Amino acid sequence: MKSVLLIGTGGVGTIAGLSLTLGGQANVTAVVRSAYDRVICEGYKISSPDHGNHSGWRPYRVVRTIDEAVNSETPVVYDYVVVSLKALPDVYCIEEMITPAVKLSHTTIVLIQNGIGIEEPLKKAYPYNVVLSGVSMIGCQNVGAVVSQFEKDRLIVGAFLPESAPEATNQSAHAIAKEFTEIYGTQFAEYTENITFYRWRKLVYNATINPICALTLLDTGRCHLSGLSKNLTFPAMQEVIAIAAAHNHIFPDDIADSMLSSDDGLYYRPSMMLDVVYNRPFELEAILGNTIKAAQSKGISCPTLSLLYTLLKGVLWRVKETQGMVQAPEEGVKWAAYS
């Protein structure tokens, strides 16, 4: 049996924990914070078209902290640390957070998160460990240990390989990526040699529809109805497609149309919009900030994405203020001192 530590038990993480458990090849220890008592007492209530309906499901072990996950009576060595937390580099540092659970040259780190450029800091912090990168295409949510999955579970997994890595290391990383998809279940998880392609592909949706819904507080259907899809989302997607092309990721010609029509008939509220509605920090840097940096590195212009980013930096500041993470001074100060 493989020993898996799961950090981040939102919708995506909990379904991953369930799938890894049901495959029969892994013992999953889950770090659960706010819903800890409920999960211990009642377990999860899960409805999933792929993994079945469960009432009272619990992972192999449930802990409150990563320290607790490591320091049990018989210390655990984790084969995999699966991170499915939101990517919020300005709120917490994942590479520091997971340190107690990562055994040198042994533990594989699996990032199931949104955005691009998220793997590098992990590879830098753990150069002798394998880092896998996973793009989840699932649609699901976890509200107080009640998990509803409403789109098919499809997880694409590949090894993250820095250019400087020796070939032998790469071969081993690819093998571990394949192994992870087998533990997860090959009917749900798929191995790829080029995970960055899929990261960029998902960005065509996530770097455009997510920010636009978050800023306007319109769901996807209302974006169409109010004309935004045509006048704003579609042009913004063209910018993402051009930046991806500059990084050698070429998509089919109809990608923008197919991404837009993927929400046909739905009034869907994407995650970044929900974060704004509920005053939670959102994944601005991983999704938009890093995309714009990738554009700049190739000299590609992306005025629409840049403006969305700047506006959302302001919104994120507002969210952080409500969380006590930034403060506004008393009235009467000259603002020039702050700019």
Q: How far is the CB of 69 from a copy of itself (least distance, A)?
A: 37
Minimum CB distance to a copy of itself, residue 314 (Å): 4
Angle at 19 between CA 65 and CA 59, to 5 degrees: 35
The residue within the footprint of a copy of itself, chosen from 218, 237, 286, 287 (CB under 8 A), is 218
Residue 226 CB, shortest distance to a copy of itself, in Å, is: 3
Query: To the nearest 5 percent, what fractions of the chain are helix, strand and coil?
Result: 45, 20, 35
Helix (H, G, I), strand (E, B) or coil at 18: helix
3-state secondary structure of 243: helix
Rank residues 55 and 279 by Cβ distance to a copy of itself and give the closer one.
279
Both tokens of residue 303?
A: 């005025």
Q: Does 296 bind a copy of itself (CB under 8 A)?
A: no
Q: Does 168 bind a copy of itself (CB under 8 A)?
A: no
Binding of residue 317 to a copy of itself (CB under 8 A): yes
Q: Which of residues 114-153 bind a copy of itself (CB under 8 A)?
A: none
Going by their DSSP bridges, the two strands 139-143 and 146-151 should be labelled as antiparallel
What are the DSSP calls for 36-85, one per residue?
HHHHHHH-EEEEETTTEEEEEE--SEEESSHHHHH-SSS----SEEEE-S
Q: Does 311 bind a copy of itself (CB under 8 A)?
A: yes
Q: Is 107 in the site for a copy of itself (CB under 8 A)?
A: no
Q: Which residues pair with 103 in a beta bridge?
A: none
CA 228, CA 235: separation in Å to the nearest integer? 10
Q: Is 315 in the site for a copy of itself (CB under 8 A)?
A: yes
From 68-76, 79-87, 189-197, 303-311, span contacting a copy of itself (CB under 8 A): 303-311
DSSP assigned state of 25: S
> Is 33 near a copy of itself (CB under 8 A)?
no
| Residue with token string 């995999």 | 80
Question: Does 216 sit near a copy of itself (CB under 8 A)?
Answer: yes
Cβ closest to a copy of itself, residue 144 vs residue 303: 303
Q: Where are the alpha helices (DSSP H) in 147-248?
A: 167-184, 195-206, 209-216, 220-225, 228, 234-246
Q: Which of residues 174-193 bind a copy of itself (CB under 8 A)?
A: none
Q: Which of 40, 277, 325, 333 binds a copy of itself (CB under 8 A)?
A: 333
225 lies in the site for a copy of itself, by CB under 8 A: yes
The 251-270 contact track toward a copy of itself, x by CB under 8 A, reads ---------xx-xxxxx---
Q: Which is nearer to a copy of itself, 191 or 309 (CB)?
A: 309
Distances (CA, A) of 140 to 11, 270, 282, 306: 5, 11, 17, 29
Q: Minimum distance between the CB of residue 275 and a copy of itself, rounded to whole angstroms? A: 14
Q: Is 302 in the site for a copy of itself (CB under 8 A)?
A: no
* Angle at CA of residue 82, ends 127 and 120, nearest 5°: 35
CB of 308 to a copy of itself, least distance (A): 8
Answer for which of 55, 171, 231, 296 binds a copy of itself (CB under 8 A) is: 231
Question: Closer to a copy of itself at the Cβ: 227 or 324?
Answer: 227
Token reading at 329: 């001074």
Cβ atoms within 10 Å, residue 163? 4
**The residue to which tokens 């509200």 are assigned:** 143
Per-residue DSSP letter, 142: E
User: Which of 131, 232 has the CB closer to a copy of itself?
Assistant: 232
C-alpha span between 286 and 116 (Å, rounded): 6
Give contact residues for a copy of itself (rule: CB under 8 A): 212, 215-218, 221-232, 260-261, 263-267, 303-304, 307, 310-311, 313-315, 317-318, 321, 326, 328-329, 331-336, 338-339
